[in-house]
Amino acid sequence: MSIFKLYFKSNLLIRILVALVLGAILGLIFQDAPKIVAVLTPLGELFVRLLKMIVVPVIASTLIVGASSIAPSQLGRIGVKTMLYYTITSIAAILIGLGVGAVIKPGLGLQLVSEMATDGKVAEAPSMLKILLEIVPTNPIGVIAEGQVLPMIFFCLMFGIALAFGKDSDDDNVKKSSETVYSFVDGVSQAMFKIVGWVMQYAPIGVFALIFIVFSKNGAAAFGSLASVTGAVYLGLALQVVLVYCVTCALFKLSPLTFLRKVRPAMITAFVTRSSGATLPVSIQTAESMGVPKNVYSFGLPVGSTMNMDGTTVYLGVCAIFIANAVGMPLTPDQMMTVTLTAVLAAVGTAGVPGAGAIMLLMVLESVGLPVEAGSAVAVAYGMILGIEALLDMGRTSMNVVGDVAGVAIVAKHEKTLDEKVWHS
């Protein structure tokens, strides 16, 4: 009984942080422990399932409420500012990724030769045009049922904007019915946030389980032979935080330290779930705790969780350099330019689910003439990266989400709608 009391009374964030550190340390100590992993796997999966359960209703309801509570012209301005911020920070991310790769030179001297093949992980990256076209759903209820985020955003945005016009209508009937629909959806969104709060109470257990599993399975490799890539990816991610997010916060007169303190719940949830999509309910709560208004985050966060992937961009840059070095064909300046372009675009097309970035790496490698073909040296190097995929995915997903939250905070500040009181408390 008292252990429950202690659990629920202690600060949630501290509980999550303790679980994270403990999980990592114990995972590193108990390498290759299938029995413990088998026990912990369902506990971790339960956390991810609980988050995923609320993603669709959270996105749909906040987006409809957000879009319908502002004038359409304002929505356009917020949309443009958000996309502009995302584009600039993504370009910064690839430059940082390539810069860190060029300085640390991971993989140099590995001299891989064609002998082994990767274990069938060679997958096709989808084409850009297809990704863009599929944003428009042919069956809105279908995409909501299947949880396809981008088409769902598209439909909910249109629905919300239409509702905004309805609420403004001169026709009393239209006005009244639009307001009824609005109140209903608003009620759904309130209920969802209550559920997010409950799910977070379980977070420490889920975090412990997920982190233990990853460190127990991959820890040795990441700190051993592949330490230079792991180090370079994480250094790039850290630089992205300091040079991009902290600096933009400071430029917009927001305390970087307060930002870092407030963003932690989303950062940690993304770290352990390895999914920007599954982290959305928590990112939304985090943005609220920063005083970002609904009309800014309800668009910026769902869109960011599928299109703004700064962490993935850093990863693509570093890993492209690693693989090129490992096969003895370091990237030329021209190839670096190509990587810059394809990595930024590939990140836009990366889904916010675990492992999506590794598929996009195929596209980037292809663009510089290093296709992953069974038996080739590139495939061997790619296989090595896949070996520590989970660890790299944790860091990059975490940064993907931090980038989204930073974006909506900056846009709100620029719109002069950020509630800055919470930044001083």
How far is residue 285's CA from residue 282's CA, in Å, rounded to a whole number?
Answer: 5
DSSP letter for each residue of 266-312:
HHHHHHHH--HHHHHHHHHHHHHHTT--HHHHHHHHHHHHHH--HHH
User: Is residue 163 near ligand ASP by the rule CB under 6 A?
Assistant: no
Find the shortest distance in angstroms from Cβ 113 to ligand ASP: 29
136: tokens are 């428009």
DSSP letter for each residue of 219-230:
HHHHHTTTHHHH
User: Is residue 276 near ligand ASP by the rule CB under 6 A?
Assistant: yes
Compute how many residues bind ligand ASP; rule: CB under 6 A: 16
- Asked if residues 276 and 55 have their Cβ atoms less than 8 Å apart, the reply is no
Please list, in sequence order, all residues whose beta carbon lies within 8 angstroms of the beta carbon of residue 371, skipping any fewer than 6 positions away.
365, 378
Scanning 170-178, 200-208, 211-219, 270-278 for contacts with ligand ASP by CB under 6 A, the matching segment is 270-278
User: Is residue 90 near ligand ASP by the rule CB under 6 A?
Assistant: no
Q: Which of 79, 355, 383, 387 binds ligand ASP (CB under 6 A)?
A: 355
- Asked if residues 406 and 259 have their Cβ atoms less than 8 Å apart, the reply is yes
User: Is residue 350 near ligand ASP by the rule CB under 6 A?
Assistant: yes
Find the shortest distance in angstroms from Cβ 18 to ligand ASP: 24
Rg (CA), the chain: 22
Nearer to ligand ASP, 199 or 353 (CB): 353
User: Is residue 393 near ligand ASP by the rule CB under 6 A?
Assistant: yes
Nearer to ligand ASP, 70 or 356 (CB): 356
Q: Which of 236, 317, 354, 403 binds ligand ASP (CB under 6 A)?
A: 354
- Asked if residues 48 and 280 have their Cβ atoms less than 8 Å apart, the reply is no
Instruction: Give the per-residue contact string, 356-385, with ligand ASP (x = CB under 6 A; - = no).
Output: xx----------------------------
Q: Which of 237, 280, 309, 326 binds ligand ASP (CB under 6 A)?
A: 309
The amino acid occupying position 348 is V
Query: Mapping DSSP to helix (H, G, I), strand (E, B) and coil, where does residue 368 land?
Result: coil
Residues that bind ligand ASP (CB under 6 A): 274-276, 309, 312, 350, 352-357, 393, 396-397, 400
